[in-house]
Amino acid sequence: MGREPVDFSLWLQERVEHIEGVLEQVLPSAETVPEGLHHAMRYAVLGGGKRVRAALVYAAGEASLQTGSEASAQRIALDHAAAAVELIHAYSLVHDDLPCMDDDALRRGRPTVHVKFNEATAMLAGDALQPLAFELLGLMPIAPALTVQATQLLARSAGSLGMVGGQAIDCGSVGHALTGDQLQQMHRMKTGALLEASVLLGGIVAGASSATRAGLESYAGAIGLAFQVVDDILDVTSDTATLGKTAGKDAAENKPTYVSIMGLDGSRDLLRSLCDQAHSALLPLGPSAAHLAGIANYIVDRDR
Amino acid sequence: MGREPVDFSLWLQERVEHIEGVLEQVLPSAETVPEGLHHAMRYAVLGGGKRVRAALVYAAGEASLQTGSEASAQRIALDHAAAAVELIHAYSLVHDDLPCMDDDALRRGRPTVHVKFNEATAMLAGDALQPLAFELLGLMPIAPALTVQATQLLARSAGSLGMVGGQAIDCGSVGHALTGDQLQQMHRMKTGALLEASVLLGGIVAGASSATRAGLESYAGAIGLAFQVVDDILDVTSDTATLGKTAGKDAAENKPTYVSIMGLDGSRDLLRSLCDQAHSALLPLGPSAAHLAGIANYIVDRDR
């Protein structure tokens, strides 16, 4: 965490604790019928995770707020949007860990949902987290036209031309050679789409001008890719205890990664240029984009 | 199909063909990357199914249309809503057929998606059909406030307090004794929630008055349950070739059903009273509700 100023770390920590409280509240209690399903949904979502997507929603919201707008309604709306992207992310991890996909037993240092419960419950928990995300967007106290825009964006980023499409390409690529372009396309969909959506959702909810939205899009594209490049580097350079998930898995499965295609040094060079692109895109937004800049550094410098 | 007048049969056939064309168009082509995923999504949705949910959207729309409203915009909106509920239904069947759930090899007389493709593709196809449904609702050319209402309704009906919650109770109930009330609660969630949402979506999109909405709700509650009672009866009285799915499966797995709890005669009595309730609820809506009445009879009289 070398490059992060102290105030960013404090801000991020405060946001992570805040979104945890929001998620606690929006998830049905473990005493609500069907109890087992709700228990699994809460286990999948709460008590872990870096909450990068939620932080992006909040930071993009800060960078986009118009003076004179209804601050308290927008704060609530940002909470809903941040919770929605975290729910989509959490559901994708639950399904990704299932035996028919990555068959992973460890996530965030704990047993995965299908190991802790069972496969059927894990699948259903993921299936139920997804509509809850759309329900939360519908509860945002903002202009309905903005809610519709936000719903469209989240739906597209989560679908077959976004996150799930990227996962399908990833599944189909095991043991196959991908070109650098194909790998980039896959990651733009698999990880980039939802990270980008998080940034843009913050902008939409806070009523960003079209100039601000353009800056957010360029920033989001860069950090979306950077995130995956770091993941690939960490899979090679880190260990299971630090990652909280199985290290070295990509190489063991002969999965194409940035490191396998462009080497460790090439991957680090790409990472630096993506980080520069992200910071340049934020310049026109001025000082209110400071936390977005902090998240870019955080993504690049993280060790898990 | 004894009680259906000819004009209802023609109307239903025309609507089934129409929604098939709409679904053809809203699903990404099988040539769109990732091709395998899109092929599986199209296989899961197209070329089969009774399209009861789509028909309910259209019939409820007819029963709710205000004179002087923008007819062409509402026709497009009803198409989107009808496609959305069919996509949610199709995804639920794909996931329900997976080995970790019902482990069924046959659906609509064809191999299930995981048999035709593989488990990972079936799971991802289901995962991608769900956000496509919400995306379609967002594209309805109606007042954004109505779109938000429709999104909320669909999200709730598909979630842990609706369809997926019902499936979770169903999974947990195999080999356990359920009371009649518990069975009813399970079915209200598992099958009833989405059937009810279909009726109410048609009403919302077409700008139904609150009196009309009340009638639609009562009708929807009755046919939602009736649908499942018929399913349970057919599982006992029909054969695999007629059903297009494995007959006698519930009894073989010791699953609680209406027939196992109240017997075949008791189930048929319940069915008759639900059908009466549905027709009574439609009386205040007048002749524009004729196709809703036809669907109630169709649900009760179907043989697959």
Among B131, B135, B172, beta carbon nearest to A36: B172
Mean pLDDT over A204-226 rounds to: 95
CA gap B154, B156 in Å, rounded: 6
Chain A residue numbers with beta carbons less than 8 Å from the beta carbon of B41 are 160
Q: What is the pLDDT of residue A69?
A: 62
Quick one: which of A136, A159, A104, A131 has its CA closest to B127?
A: A159
Q: Which helix (H) or strand (E) holds B136?
A: helix B119-138
| Range of lowest pLDDT (A27-36, A76-85, B251-260) | B251-260
Is the CB of B173 inside 8 Å of chain A's CB atoms?
no
Chain B residue numbers with beta carbons less than 8 Å from the beta carbon of A98 are 100, 123
Q: What is the pLDDT of residue A5?
A: 66
Chain B residue numbers with beta carbons less than 8 Å from the beta carbon of A84 are none
CA gap A194, A159 in Å, rounded: 10
CA gap B218, B240 in Å, rounded: 33
Cβ under 8 Å to A: B residues 143-162:
143-145, 147-148, 151-152, 154-156, 158-161
Distance from CA of A2 to the nearest CA of B (A): 39
| Range of lowest pLDDT (A205-214, A223-232, B175-184) | B175-184
Encode pLDDT of A157-209 as tens digits.
999 999 999 999 988 877 777 787 888 889 899 999 999 999 999 999 999 99
Among B120, B130, B139, beta carbon nearest to A100: B120
Chain B residue numbers with beta carbons less than 8 Å from the beta carbon of A128 are 159-160, 164-165, 168
Q: What is the pLDDT of residue A67?
A: 65
Mean pLDDT over A77-105 rounds to: 96
Q: What is the pLDDT of residue A92?
A: 98
So what's the ipTM on this one? 0.93
Mean pLDDT over A271-289 rounds to: 95
Cβ under 8 Å to A: B residues 185-204:
185
Mean pLDDT over A204-232 rounds to: 94
- pLDDT above 90: percentage of residues in chain A: 75
Tens digit of each residue's pLDDT, chain B (304 residues): 345 567 999 999 999 999 999 999 999 999 999 999 999 999 999 988 899 999 999 999 999 987 666 678 999 999 999 999 999 999 999 999 999 998 999 998 899 999 999 999 999 999 999 999 999 999 999 999 999 999 999 999 999 999 999 999 988 877 777 787 888 889 899 999 999 999 999 999 999 999 999 999 999 999 999 999 998 899 888 877 676 666 677 767 777 788 988 899 999 999 999 999 999 999 999 999 999 999 999 999 887 7
Among A143, A158, A172, beta carbon nearest to B36: A172
Please classify residue A95 by burial: count the beta carbons closer than 10 Å to its beta carbon, then call 0-12 exposed, 13-18 middle and 19+ buried: buried
At B225, list the tokens.
Answer: 């349950």
Mean pLDDT over A130-159 rounds to: 97
- Whether the Cβ atoms of residue B32 and residue B38 lie closer than 8 Å to each other: yes
Q: What is the pLDDT of residue A1?
A: 39
Q: What is the pLDDT of residue A171?
A: 87
Band (A121; pLDDT cuts 50, 70, 90): very high
Distance from CA of A126 to the nearest CA of B (A): 9
Check the CA dihedral B219-B222-B228-B230 and report its sign.
negative
- In angstroms, the Cα distances linking B211 to A123, A297, B78, B171, B207 are 39, 57, 20, 37, 11
**Matching CATH number, B6-301, of 1.10.600.10, 3.40.640.10, 3.50.50.60, 2.60.40.10:** 1.10.600.10
Among A144, A164, A185, beta carbon nearest to B148: A144
Interaxial angle between packed helices B163-173 and B193-205, expressed in degrees from 0 to 180 and rounded to the nearest 10:
170
CB contact under 8 A, A38 and B159: no
Is the CB of B115 inside 8 Å of chain A's CB atoms?
no
Distance from CA of B159 to the nearest CA of A (A): 5
DSSP codes, A128-192: HHHHHHHHHHHT-SS-HHHHHHHHHHHHHHHSTTTHHHHHHHHHHHTTS---HHHHHHHHIIIII
Mean pLDDT over A22-27 rounds to: 98
CA diameter of chain A? 55
| Range of lowest pLDDT (A55-59, A96-100, B68-72, B99-103) | B68-72
Closest alpha carbon within chain A to B172: A36
Is the CB of B101 inside 8 Å of chain A's CB atoms?
yes
CB contact under 8 A, A156 and B131: yes
Domain residue ranges of chain A, discontinuous segments joined by +: 6-301
Closest alpha carbon within chain B to A30: B160
Is the CB of A6 inside 8 Å of chain B's CB atoms?
no
